[in-house]
Amino acid sequence: MKILILNAGSSSQKSCLYELSDEQLPEHPPQPLWKADIDWTASSDFGILTVNANGVKQEIELRGDQHLEGIAKLLNTLVEGDTKVIESLSEINCVGHRIVHGGKKYSAATLITPEVEAEISNLIPLAPAHNPAHLEGITAIKKVLGVAQVAVFDTAFHTSIPDENSIYPLPYEWSQKGIRRYGFHGTSHQYCANRAAQILGKPIASLKIIACHLGNGCSLTAIKDGKSIDTTMGFTPLEGLMMGTRSGSFDPAILIYLMKEHLYDIDQLNHLLNKESGLKGISGISGDLRPILEAIDEGNERAKLAFKMYIHLIKKGIGEMLSTLEGADLILFTAGVGENAPIVREKVCHGFGFLGWKIDQDKNNSHPVDTDIATPDSTIRIMVIHTEEDWAIAQECWHQLKSD
């Protein structure tokens, strides 16, 4: 069977096509037949569609205000030109979508119905940068394909978090209105935890795991018995750790002060907290860690401060997850920074050296993938896991089709 994945972000669209056996899923993630990414931030006027298939890489310029048209062109590259991998779009059996916010209603992958679409739309105020993009993808597929579509919710994995960890210390009635911790990056956290357990050859239910998803967005999750029991992101993806351009957690009275004394409005605050804070806000350089590390080598003091804050807040968050789990057997690092920045893994784990956490520096510096980088005498396994959100979504689609 052929399964198409649409993974829409706030400013991007990542897609791939898998061809899978009807009988059994492979043990390891297969290479997709085709991959395509749209970057809507190329300029204010246009986006760039990059397609990889048949050993060919192709770039296509798209109008920046025509997202649905862009998705249509993306789909055309499956059946046209040098990147053609299928004869007709009708060969696609299912389309899987990563959906950032599903609220408390959806605790598992779900076939998309009008009711599910309506709920995704209702949750736009909680994920204004993401849920509209997901709906665009669902609409585009409906126009060209009459196949099953499956929603895989980033929040689903976190519906197992108990009330004492998910309800905020605010008037209780607010929690009944949906104001509570939802958590995000759930698809990545769940996949990576299961992959780590598989590599170690241990049942996931036997492990206490701290999963560190460190990319432009950052979150930690405490996993026990294979379930999320606490996480750093909350009502929105803004809470928790210091991130690329997001602030993470801070004293909420600061907002009251800024509105009262400096007349900031809601839109200004929203932009500042989501787009101009975090690593970018402190360093004044970028939300990307790489140029910040380069600036540190050149003696830039604000870059040094940003990095020290970043590491401090990750360690602080790990301490919270550690106390929730009452110990840990495994810590894993994933996503862009987690997988590719050995200095971050080194600094974070060094902070827990008093607990016997020890990294093998040679392994840490050798571009590890799906690897245990702890020394033999470390009191905890330390792993780098390549996140495979698209493959996790494809597996959910496969199971949905087989259950019909």
| Number of neighbours of residue 26 by Cβ within 10 angstroms | 11
What pLDDT is attached to residue 252? 97
For residue 1, which of 20, 27, 29, 28 has the smallest C-alpha distance? 20
pLDDT of 62 above 90: no
pLDDT of 340 above 70: yes
Q: Which amino acid is at 109?
A: A
Cβ-based neighbours of 273, under 8 Å, separated by 6 or more: 238, 246, 247
DSSP per position, 55-70:
TEEEEEEEETT-HHHH
Which of residues 221 and 403 earns the better pLDDT score?
221
What pLDDT is attached to residue 132? 87
- Cβ(47)–Cβ(38) under 8 Å? yes
Q: Is 315 helix (H, G, I), strand (E, B) or coil?
A: helix
pTM tops 0.95: no
φ, ψ for residue 260, nearest 5 deg: -80, -45
Q: Tell me: the pLDDT tens digits for 109-158?
A: 999 999 999 999 999 888 877 888 889 889 888 988 889 999 999 999 99
| Number of neighbours of residue 369 by Cβ within 10 angstroms | 9
The residue extents of the domains of the chain are 2-153, 201-384
Active site residue 154: yes
Q: Check if 2-153 and 201-384 are the same fold.
A: yes
Q: Where are the alpha helices (DSSP H) in 204-334?
A: 253-261, 266-275, 278-283, 289-297, 301-325
In CATH, 2-153 is 2.60.40.2230: no
To the nearest whole number, what is the mean pLDDT of the chain? 93
What pLDDT is attached to residue 44? 60
What pLDDT is attached to residue 42? 60
pLDDT of 195 above 70: yes
Q: Give me the mean pLDDT over the 164-185 stretch.
A: 95
φ, ψ for residue 381, nearest 5 deg: -80, 135
For residue 369, which of 34, 28, 36, 51 has the smallest C-alpha distance? 28
Helix axis angle, 114-122 relative to 131-144, nearest 10°? 160
Determine the Cα–Cα distance for residues 169 and 274; give it in Å rounded to an integer.
24
In CATH, 201-384 is 3.30.420.40: yes
Catalytic choice (39, 154, 230, 372): 154
